[in-house]
């Protein structure tokens, strides 16, 4: 547990560590304030137990004379008020420190969550293509929250109470070593015994909660993502049953950890009462039954116990929570470590601010090989492809032949494991990649639409105040969306619903096309972009794309050969390489496979 906490500390940013150090100072001052409030009760009780202390030579008698009060009772009232004042200052200080501690924990949690989100958003395409988004969402939200509320916050409490208990123990130890040592030993031994008993259980419980939590997120993402199929197939029960089970496991796990951290309080209260009785008997015995002389010591011990007992309980509770939820930290540990290195590195700048690398002659994929991790067969196997600038290039081939992978390479989303991508015969490098990407417009097969307006979806990712409405209108017109917009009362300001549920497949695709056009890209890449459009709309959209593409380079993947009929060159892709290239008519004339694809 200590190792993980130290590691978590090392993951804090320098600013967070500085704040922690300042808080540590506050914690120490708080401990002294608490001690002062405990000690302050002593003189008051001494006078209550024996008024004659105000006569003679003791320091209380001197203070009485200096105060100028004419009766011991009024001096006693002054003492009482002073004790209360010290208690009040200590309580206010403790409240302030506790508030700062909670705020600190919450801030660290929020920063960790932002760090993970930023890190995930900057990961390459393969990271996302190979993983599941629900897992990332779960980690950046739920698991970070668990780490915040059940590891960092309890640790801050533990830290504060530990300092207080240590200082308080030292003080009462100086007051009477035998009594203090026995009391402290009794409490520590009781808590240690309890902790040892439940430790293993807390660990396995924490892991179970992590697993069930991840499962819940997966079920939510899959359930809502595939809602249409679920409704039609009426398979909701499969999901709800699993969700119920996972929720029960999370609830049970968290409840058990909570219970195990609270339950010992009652056992320890018994120990405390027993100890008080023992203490009274011991003091009476050692002071020959004189209640007046034991009253100050008894009050100090009682008040110290009154402060320390909840502190012990808090410490035990904090340790149980940390132990029971360290699994959440373990599940995000690697990403947090990686995100720290990432946070220190300079983040990739937005493409909107770089000078686009506009090709003048050609774009070429030369002998490229690409193998997805964990796959037996390579997706691309020495693929050669030349895209002359200003040409319309079609990519056709059976499903799984490698067309989308070739396009991903062209877009710079993945890098070839062998071979090169050349823009005007110059290989793409890490420096030129952002500039190359800035001149490409991409329309994917499945267009993601945010739960925002059409305007914001066309200018996806551009801050609202920076959107060029004129450019959006132009893009929308070119993508043949003006008819749809005219039928909507709010026009460009119409909300499309999450993932564009309020639009037809064709309308969604046209928004995707408008999005690519908004960037005024010089190279347009369309991956099955018009597959959801009906024949007539497709022809209109393609004619428009052809018109606006005048001078632009166009690369399109299509299953329907009519889409690529007018291309200057069509490349046939099979098993990760180009097997034939030519115009539509040339391929129809000489290639049997192409003829079959064209249903001729």
Between 130 and 535, CB nearer to ligand ATP: 130
φ and ψ of 141, to 5 deg: -110, -70
Between 405 and 530, CB nearer to ligand ATP: 405
User: What's the token pair of residue 137?
Assistant: 């969402």
Residue 194 CB, nearest approach to ligand ATP (Å): 50
Between 400 and 497, CB nearer to ligand ATP: 400
Q: Counting beta carbons within 10 angstroms of the beta carbon of residue 258, is it exposed (0 to 12), middle (13 to 18) or buried (19 or more)? A: middle
Between 87 and 379, CB nearer to ligand ATP: 379
Q: Which residue is nearest to ligand ATP (CB)?
A: 404
Residue 355 CB, nearest approach to ligand ATP (Å): 31
Between 446 and 540, CB nearer to ligand ATP: 446
Residue 130 CB, nearest approach to ligand ATP (Å): 6
Between 177 and 400, CB nearer to ligand ATP: 400
Between 145 and 445, CB nearer to ligand ATP: 445
Q: Counting beta carbons within 10 angstroms of the beta carbon of residue 293, is it exposed (0 to 12), middle (13 to 18) or buried (19 or more)? A: middle
Between 353 and 375, CB nearer to ligand ATP: 375
Cα–Cα distance measured from residue 150 to residue 260, given in angstroms and rounded to the nearest whole number: 14
Residue 571 CB, nearest approach to ligand ATP (Å): 12
Residue 397 CB, nearest approach to ligand ATP (Å): 6
φ and ψ of 455, to 5 deg: -55, -50
Residue 379 CB, nearest approach to ligand ATP (Å): 4
User: If DSSP codes are grouped into helix, strand and coil, which group holds residue 428?
Assistant: coil
Q: Sheet containing 553-557: give its strands across.
A: 440-443, 523-527, 553-557, 392-397, 569-574, 577-582
| Residues sharing a CB contact under 8 Å with residue 237, sequence separation 6 or more, in sequence order | none
Residue 550 CB, nearest approach to ligand ATP (Å): 27
Residue 402 CB, nearest approach to ligand ATP (Å): 4
Between 19 and 128, CB nearer to ligand ATP: 128
| Residue of 143, 259, 117 whose CA lies nearest to 210 | 143
| Residues sharing a CB contact under 8 Å with residue 87, sequence separation 6 or more, in sequence order | 37, 40
Residue 591 CB, nearest approach to ligand ATP (Å): 17
Residue 404 CB, nearest approach to ligand ATP (Å): 3
**Residues belonging to the chain:** 600
Asked if residues 112 and 12 have their Cβ atoms less than 8 Å apart, the reply is no
User: If DSSP codes are grouped into helix, strand and coil, which group holds residue 415?
Assistant: coil
**Interface residues toward ligand ATP, by CB under 6 A:** 129-130, 372, 375, 379, 397, 399-405
User: What's the token pair of residue 401?
Assistant: 């032949």
Between 71 and 399, CB nearer to ligand ATP: 399
Per-residue H/E/C for 28-96 = HHHHHHHHHHHHCHHHHHHHHHCHHHHCCCCHHHHHHHHHCCCCHHHHHHHHHHHHHHHHHHHHHHHHH
Cα–Cα distance measured from residue 265 to residue 447, given in angstroms and rounded to the nearest whole number: 56
Residue listed under structure tokens 């029971």: 324
Cα–Cα distance measured from residue 412 to residue 249, given in angstroms and rounded to the nearest whole number: 43
Asked if residues 191 and 312 have their Cβ atoms less than 8 Å apart, the reply is yes
């Amino acid at each position: 547990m200590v190792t993980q906490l130290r590691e978590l500390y090392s993951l804090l940013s320098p600013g967070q560590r500085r704040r922690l150090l300042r808080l540590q100072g506050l914690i120490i001052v708080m401990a002294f304030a608490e001690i002062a409030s405990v000690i302050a009760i002593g003189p008051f009780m001494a006078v209550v137990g024996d008024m004659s202390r105000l006569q003679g030579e003791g320091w209380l008698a001197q203070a009485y004379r200096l105060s100028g009060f004419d009766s011991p009772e009024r001096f006693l009232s002054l003492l009482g008020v002073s004790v209360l004042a010290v208690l009040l200052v200590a309580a206010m200080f403790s409240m302030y420190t506790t508030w700062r501690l909670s705020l600190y924990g919450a801030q660290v949690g929020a920063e960790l969550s932002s760090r993970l989100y930023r890190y995930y958003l900057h990961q390459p395409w393969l990271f996302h293509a190979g993983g599941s988004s629900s897992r990332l969402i779960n980690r950046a939200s739920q698991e970070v929250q668990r780490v915040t509320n059940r590891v960092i916050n309890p640790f801050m409490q533990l830290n504060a109470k530990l300092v207080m208990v240590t200082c308080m123990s030292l003080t009462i130890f100086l007051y009477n070593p035998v009594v203090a040592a026995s009391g402290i030993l009794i409490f520590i031994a009781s808590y240690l015994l309890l902790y040892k008993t439940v430790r293993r259980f807390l660990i396995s419980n924490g892991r179970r909660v992590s697993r069930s939590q991840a499962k819940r997120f997966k079920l939510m993402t899959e359930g809502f993502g595939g809602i249409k199929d679920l409704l039609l197939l009426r398979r909701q029960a499969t999901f709800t049953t699993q969700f119920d089970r996972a929720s029960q496991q999370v609830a049970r796990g968290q409840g058990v950890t909570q219970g195990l951290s609270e339950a010992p309080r009652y056992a320890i209260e018994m120990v405390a009462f027993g100890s008080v009785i023992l203490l009274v008997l011991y003091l009476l015995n050692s002071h020959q039954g004189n209640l007046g002389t034991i009253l100050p010591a008894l009050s100090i011990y009682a008040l110290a116990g009154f402060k320390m007992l909840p502190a012990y309980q808090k410490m035990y509770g904090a340790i149980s929570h940390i132990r029971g939820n360290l699994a959440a930290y373990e599940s995000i540990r690697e990403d947090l470590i990686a995100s720290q290195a990432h946070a220190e590195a300079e983040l990739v700048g937005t493409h909107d601010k770089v000078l686009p690398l506009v090709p003048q002659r050609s774009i070429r994929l030369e002998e490229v090989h690409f193998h997805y991790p964990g796959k037996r067969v390579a997706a691309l196997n020495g693929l050669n492809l030349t895209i002359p600038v200003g040409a319309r290039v079609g990519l056709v081939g059976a499903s799984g032949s490698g067309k989308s992978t070739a396009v991903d390479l062209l877009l710079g989303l993945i890098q070839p494991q062998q071979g090169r991508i050349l823009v005007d015969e110059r290989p793409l490098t890490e420096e030129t990649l952002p500039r190359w990407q800035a001149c490409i417009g991409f329309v994917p097969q499945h267009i993601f639409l945010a739960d925002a307006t059409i305007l914001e979806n066309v200018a996806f990712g551009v801050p609202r105040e920076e959107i060029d409405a004129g450019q959006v209108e132009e893009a929308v017109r070119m993508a043949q969306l003006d008819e749809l917009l005219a039928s909507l009362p709010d026009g460009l300001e119409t909300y499309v619903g999450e993932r564009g549920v309020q639009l037809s497949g064709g309308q969604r695709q046209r928004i995707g096309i408008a999005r690519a056009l908004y960037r005024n890209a010089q190279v347009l890449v369309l991956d099955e972009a018009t597959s959801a459009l009906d024949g007539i709309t497709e022809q209109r959209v393609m004619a428009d794309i052809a018109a606006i593409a005048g001078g632009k380079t166009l690369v399109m993947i299509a299953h329907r050969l009519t889409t690529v009929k007018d291309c200057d060159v069509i490349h046939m892709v099979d098993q990760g390489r180009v097997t034939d290239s030519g115009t539509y008519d040339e391929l129809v004339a000489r290639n049997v496979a192409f003829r079959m694809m064209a249903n001729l």
